[in-house]
Amino acid sequence: MFSSILWKKKNKLPENEKLAKVKELLFPQYTTESLPNGDLFHVDSSVDSNLDAALVDLQTGANDKMIQATISNVIEKLRQAREILGVEQEINPDARAIVFEILKDGEIEANEK
């Protein structure tokens, strides 16, 4: 279950190349598309804009396959960024759970092993 959190290989790219790859992965330039009637629009694939849009949809009661795909896409981009940066997470085999967030009221949100 937690295998996606572990990264076994380290990326040996120079730091400036890692930064450029992560920047392009997480915050790519807009693309411009057009509708059949000729109207132009920008497509924003940046992770912060996509998460913001998904959060607004969830807050308004929408939870469809498009929102789930958006969140999954952002997670995948963040995993790729972790791999590029060579950030390793070691998990103590004696730990009962991984805590993802401690909520403001002190409640813990965790995934059991």
Q: What is the pLDDT of residues 42-55, one digit of tens each?
A: 999 999 999 999 99
- Of 18, 26, 22, the residue nearest 44 (C-alpha): 26
Four-residue CA torsion sign, 55, 57, 59, 65: negative
In a domain, 72, yes or no: yes
Task: Give the strand pairing for 31-34 and 40-43.
Answer: antiparallel
pLDDT recorded at residue 89: 77
| In the predicted structure, residue 71 carries a pLDDT above the cut 70 | yes
Is residue 4's pLDDT more than 70?
no
- pLDDT score recorded for residue 106: 63
Our count of domains for the chain comes to 1
In a domain, 1, yes or no: no
Predicted TM-score of the model (pTM):
0.71
Give the range of the structural domain holding residue 73, as residue numbers without chain letter: 8-90
Burial class (CB in 10 A: 0-12, 13-18, 19+), 50: middle
